[in-house]
Structure 1
């Protein structure tokens, strides 16, 4: 472990390796992989159904008219995109959540996905938004970002996050079941 990083029994593991000297770990947790839908899905699911239905109708028309196979293959690409939007993104979202760990320190919020992908947000400088799910059993925390209507914010936590590459990416701790622990750690960090 780097000598400039915090060590100790309460801060062992991959997230501990990300701590700066003097930084105190307040909370660790993970997203709930069973939570698949977000508010954005109120738009994305109907749009995905429309997209896939339109492309299926288009491909049927192209095939039945005897058009060249190149045109069918072109439609096939759009059908695969539609299939991903309709079903595939939920598998990707669940897989990503199972590989993600979160932490809140007295200075930052961190997200570790897999063994190497780390993102963080300064809790002292950025705006923090806390939103409880409808069931009040999960909480989503977003820090900074380009606003609620930015592409990064609209596609965040949908399995289509790559569409939000324009602008400043949104940082979030999504669908956390430990509502009380996370909100208490955020309050402590913001008062620090």
Structure 2
């Protein structure tokens, strides 16, 4: 398993692989902003926008690649913040394909993202996830602090309401 940052050109070239990871997560029940059934081309359009954001310097994109070199996980560090928040960044779209789960992929992606955030001088990171999810347990285990829950904040891919928990992490 390899974890690395990719640039906008590589992200654009690998939109199909990134879309497959997103598709698998949504079809597996992950509430990550998309509903079932996924419209044709919607995951690819999303990743083309992400690739443009990476190319524009608005975000950093990390991928996990399996032994065959295929993308099996991803996460973004969004650094395009308002003028009064230059010290802050958001963690976005932590996605791990079901074939790669329970192998430490998410933890390794998050640690790479945190290292990049520190390198960029970011001292506060923020993320949100489904309340009580595997992801929430991971974030808490890795030292993220719970800011609070918002009931009925989002929908699961099949339409049921779910609560969202916000987390933050401070760095010296």
TM-score, normalised to structure 1's length? Answer: 0.23
Between structure 1 and structure 2, the one with the greater Rg is 1
Query: Which structure is higher in strand share?
Result: 2
Query: Which structure is higher in helix share?
Result: 1
TM-score, normalised to structure 2's length? Answer: 0.25
